[in-house]
């Protein structure tokens, strides 16, 4: 599966040359199934860009290409990637399962249903946010994880207690 990170890297390289990257026909055929993915860029284990799709709407290879370019150049939290940074960048591709809603009666039940291999999507009052399962490495406490997700969505810290919560799993590939 290492090929997906290579597709992402080539897409970014071609973007610097003002060209669109088109994987070869073998890779396009292999990754033609519609899947959602996130592309995470890091330099020295520090986040440098992360953008993705939550819902599968295009062939996986195309989602990888689009999200790689967006993570490198359109993540509002970071300046666009510079060509000289590309050699330091490590790329991770996370392929998402289809999200499913977690039904719960109270926040204690919700905390009990969440597993630490889940990516979580929080929705409330028309706002939403997500954390990939890899974020559990930094935020190990379930309550804190949901509080940070609430803040990321631009909501109050306790919004998770009354939010719609969805989960997904990922297959991740790192360079």
Residue 174 lies in a domain: no
pLDDT digits (tens, 9 = 90+) for 89-130: 999 999 999 999 999 999 999 999 999 999 999 999 999 999
The residue written with tokens 């799709």 in the block is 53
- Residue 122 is encoded by which pair of tokens? 């929080």
Nearest to 146 by CA among 171, 103, 116: 116
pLDDT digits (tens, 9 = 90+) for 152-165: 999 999 999 999 99
pTM: 0.90
What's the CATH code of the domain at 144?
3.30.1490.150
Domain count, the chain: 2
Which range marks the domain in which residue 131 is found? Answer: 100-169
- Is the separation of the CB atoms in 5 and 62 below 8 Å? no
Instruction: Answer whether residue 28 shows pLDDT above 90.
Output: yes
Count how many residues are written for the chain.
175
């Amino acid at each position: 599966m290492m090929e997906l990170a290579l597709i992402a890297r080539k897409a970014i390289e071609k973007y610097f040359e003002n060209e669109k990257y088109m994987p070869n026909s073998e890779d396009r055929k292999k990754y033609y199934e519609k899947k959602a993915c996130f592309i995470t860029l890091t330099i020295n284990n520090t986040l440098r860009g992360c953008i993705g799709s939550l819902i599968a709407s295009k062939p996986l290879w195309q989602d990888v290409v689009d999200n790689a370019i967006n993570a490198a150049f359109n993540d509002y939290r970071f300046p666009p990637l510079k060509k000289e940074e590309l050699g330091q960048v490590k790329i991770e591709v996370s392929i998402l399962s289809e999200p499913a809603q977690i039904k719960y009666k109270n926040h204690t039940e919700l905390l009990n249903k969440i597993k630490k291999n889940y990516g979580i999507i929080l929705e409330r009052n028309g706002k939403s946010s997500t954390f990939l399962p890899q974020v559990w490495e930094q935020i190990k406490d379930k309550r804190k994880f949901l509080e940070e997700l609430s803040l990321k969505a631009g909501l109050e810290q306790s919004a998770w207690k009354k939010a719609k919560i969805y989960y997904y799993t990922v297959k991740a590939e790192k360079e």
